[in-house]
């Protein structure tokens, strides 16, 4: 059996990775660099390899991406849109090629290399050559139906040409992206109109595709590069390279930088050449993708539940800049985690202005010895999210003092405790207003109960005025009382209360995900809802009963039982059940 320390670390890593998946895939506002995220995933994989009994179907190592947002109708992908395994060096790329060769004894393996364009993954369905549906990647299993928006783009052909036009059901995949120059022009126009600007081209592409009004999408400078034929019954294509050619002849755009490489040496040279020339690319790219060319060999290699075994992403080295730490503030999360954030002198890094960056936890600040007034080296690994690489000690001002992490919650003043094996300090007050606000924001988010109108400002007003003290209080709100709050009018109050009432029918699966039970994400919530049916049935379940549910296991069963055994949590569940929340 795995030691208790490793079990706790696995649980913490999974929670942290899931949070970053939600921020990246669902909200398009990631908080850490690709390199920092990859380090978390590698640590989790190493622990799971050491203790296979801890592996669950819900683990981020077994499932790609995040859950799709709820603003659009869900679309089940015919073939899962998986993530890519990634490496940071050409030595690791060569090791991958070696594993492929050993898995295919006697086969001559060729490769196709492509830029890893940083945008939004999309799947396009055509029936007899006519565009029928467009979807986002979502969690890889279920995406969002954005057909009208994608149909508004000139880069998405409405009728195909050539042999692919004769395929009955054809699904192709690609990346919707915004060129850097177009991104800068769009942001200037948004700022001139008094609208918020996008943080980077990827966020701009994701936000533009997810517009409620397709006319807005049509007016955005988006492009789409296709990179895969995912479903084409009866096609006679033998290689990925042939598939790319067929896509071009059908009327799609593919990257002009795609190259066919006869061996891994040629693939390495391609990746090195692309990395040297990345600054000259007209779009953001955070690496190169290397794929086995022959489709029959791809089928033999297969895939995991997370990524194909025949493809790999080689991530670019990060870009860097220096700036000054103007202050350090501490944010409080819904689970009580205190996260330090550095306020920076604004600096432009890889085309984006950076004014703040997470410092992760108390130990990270101490290890890097970050102080207010310090000049720090920032890095945008993967060209997405910045992080502090280190302090430029030679430029430290006189009198700069080591940062003292608060021993009390900055929001409520309660003790901020830290266990011997924990990386973070935690606010010990379950009634902390900052924790409550974050719990409410999570509960009402699109991936959870989908409460339109319950944004950060609305949550703040409801909590600060004492109308809501837990999520069950939401179901007691009345529109006339809400309308009297600052920032609300009669219509917006009625819309919010109506959305809350409608959420009663979201079902037990969505409710369990919304409650934030440790270890319970969308997949586990679905298993528990299917097995126990009601909140009361789940609350009465023993650890042994939970552990017998396929895909749960004893570690997760203990986590769920411990959470539900808490007296406050039981009272909350009883109030939600009385309000008939979670009924299908």
Catalytic positions, written as ranges: 116
List of E strands, 161-251: 169-177, 223-231
**What share of residues in the chain are helix, strand, coil (percent, to 5)?**
40, 20, 40
C-alpha distances out from residue 97 to 260, 292, 341, Å: 15, 9, 40
Residue whose structure tokens are 């606010």: 427
Closest alpha carbon to 347 in 366, 320, 307, 312:
320
Q: Which residues of 86-103 are buried (b: 16+ CB within 10 A; e: fewer)?
A: bbbebeebeebbeebeee
Q: Rounded to an integer, what distance in angstroms lies between the CA atom of residue 219 and that of residue 205?
A: 12
C-alpha distances out from residue 317 to 24, 156, 382, Å: 20, 32, 7
C-alpha distances out from residue 352 to 16, 187, 276, Å: 25, 11, 20
Q: Rounded to an integer, what distance in angstroms lies between the CA atom of residue 97 and that of residue 108?
A: 12
Q: Give the H or E element holding residue 524.
A: helix 522-532
Q: Rounded to an integer, what distance in angstroms lies between the CA atom of residue 476 and that of residue 460?
A: 17
Query: Where does residue 536 fall: left (phi above 0), alpha (psi -120 to 50 degrees), or beta otherwise?
Result: alpha
Query: Which two tokens mark 511?
Result: 């409710």
Task: Report whether 365 contacts 336 (CB < 8 A).
Answer: no
Q: Rounded to an integer, what distance in angstroms lies between the CA atom of residue 117 and that of residue 222?
A: 13
Task: Report whether 119 contacts 202 (CB < 8 A).
Answer: yes
Q: Rounded to an integer, what distance in angstroms lies between the CA atom of residue 52 and that of residue 550?
A: 16
Strand partners, 313: 86, 289
Q: What angle do CA 515, 517, 522 make, to 5 degrees?
A: 75
DSSP structure string for 189-215: HHHHTTPPPPSSHHHHHHHHHT-SSHH
| 213 Cβ contact list (under 8 Å, min separation 6) | none
Q: Give the H or E element holding residue 463.
A: helix 456-464
3-state secondary structure of 104: coil
First to last CA, the chain: 39
Task: Report whether 444 contacts 454 (CB < 8 A).
Answer: yes
Sheet with strand 285-292: strands edge to edge = 86-87, 311-315, 285-292, 111-117, 259-261
């Amino acid at each position: 059996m795995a030691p208790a320390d490793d079990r706790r670390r696995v649980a913490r890593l999974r929670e942290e990775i899931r949070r970053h998946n939600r921020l990246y895939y669902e909200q398009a506002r990631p908080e850490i660099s690709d390199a920092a995220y990859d380090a978390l995933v590698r640590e989790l994989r190493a622990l799971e390899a050491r203790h296979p009994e801890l592996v669950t179907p819900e683990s981020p190592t077994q499932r790609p991406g995040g859950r799709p947002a709820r603003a659009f109708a869900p679309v089940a992908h015919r073939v899962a849109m998986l993530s890519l395994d990634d490496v940071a060096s050409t030595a690791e790329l060569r090791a991958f090629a070696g594993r492929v060769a050993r898995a295919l004894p006697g086969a001559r393996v060729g490769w196709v290399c492509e830029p890893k364009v940083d945008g939004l993954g999309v799947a396009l369905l055509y029936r007899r050559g006519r565009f029928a549906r467009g979807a986002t990647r979502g969690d890889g299993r279920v995406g969002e139906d954005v057909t009208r928006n994608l149909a508004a783009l000139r880069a998405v052909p409405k009728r195909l040409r050539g042999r692919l036009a004769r395929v009955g059901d054809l699904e192709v995949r690609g990346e919707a992206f915004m060129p850097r120059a177009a991104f800068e022009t769009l942001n200037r126009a948004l700022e001139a109109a008094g609208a918020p600007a996008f943080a980077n081209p990827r966020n701009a592409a994701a936000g533009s595709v997810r517009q409620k009004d397709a006319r807005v999408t049509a007016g955005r400078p988006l492009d789409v590069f296709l990179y895969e034929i995912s479903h084409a019954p009866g096609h006679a294509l033998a290689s990925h390279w042939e598939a790319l050619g067929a896509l071009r002849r059908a009327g799609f755009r593919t990257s002009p930088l795609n190259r066919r490489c006869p061996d891994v040496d040629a693939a390495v040279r391609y990746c090195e050449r692309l990395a040297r020339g990345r600054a000259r690319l007209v779009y953001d790219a955070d690496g190169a993708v290397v794929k086995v060319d022959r489709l029959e060999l791809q089928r033999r290699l297969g895939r995991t539940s997370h990524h194909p075994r025949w493809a790999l992403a080689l991530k670019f080295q990060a870009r860097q800049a220096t700036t000054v730490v103007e202050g350090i503030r501490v944010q409080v999360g819904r689970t009580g985690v205190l996260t330090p954030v550095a306020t920076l002198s604004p600096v432009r890094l890889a085309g984006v202005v950076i004014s703040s960056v997470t410092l992760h936890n108390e130990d990270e600040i101490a290890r890097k010895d970050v102080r207010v007034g310090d000049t720090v080296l920032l890095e945008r690994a993967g060209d997405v999210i910045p992080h502090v690489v280190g302090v430029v000690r030679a430029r430290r001002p006189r009198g700069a003092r080591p940062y003292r992490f608060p021993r009390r919650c900055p929001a409520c003043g309660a003790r901020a405790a830290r266990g011997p094996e924990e990386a973070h300090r935690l606010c010990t007050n379950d009634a902390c207003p900052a924790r409550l606000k974050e719990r409410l924001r999570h509960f009402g988010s699109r991936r959870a109960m989908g409460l339109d109108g319950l944004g950060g400002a609305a949550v703040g007003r409801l909590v600060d005025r004492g109308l809501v003290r837990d999520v069950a209080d939401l179901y007691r709100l009345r529109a006339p009382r809400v309308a009297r709050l600052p920032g609300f009018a009669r219509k917006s109050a009625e819309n919010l209360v109506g959305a809350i009432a409608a959420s009663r029918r979201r079902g037990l699966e969505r409710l369990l995900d919304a409650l934030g039970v440790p270890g319970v994400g969308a997949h586990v919530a679905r298993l528990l809802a299917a097995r126990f049916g009601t909140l009361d049935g789940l609350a009465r379940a023993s650890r042994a009963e939970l552990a017998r549910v396929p895909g749960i296991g004893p570690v997760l069963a203990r986590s769920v039982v411990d959470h539900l055994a808490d007296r406050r949590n039981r009272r909350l569940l009883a109030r939600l059940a009385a309000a008939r929340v979670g009924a299908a």
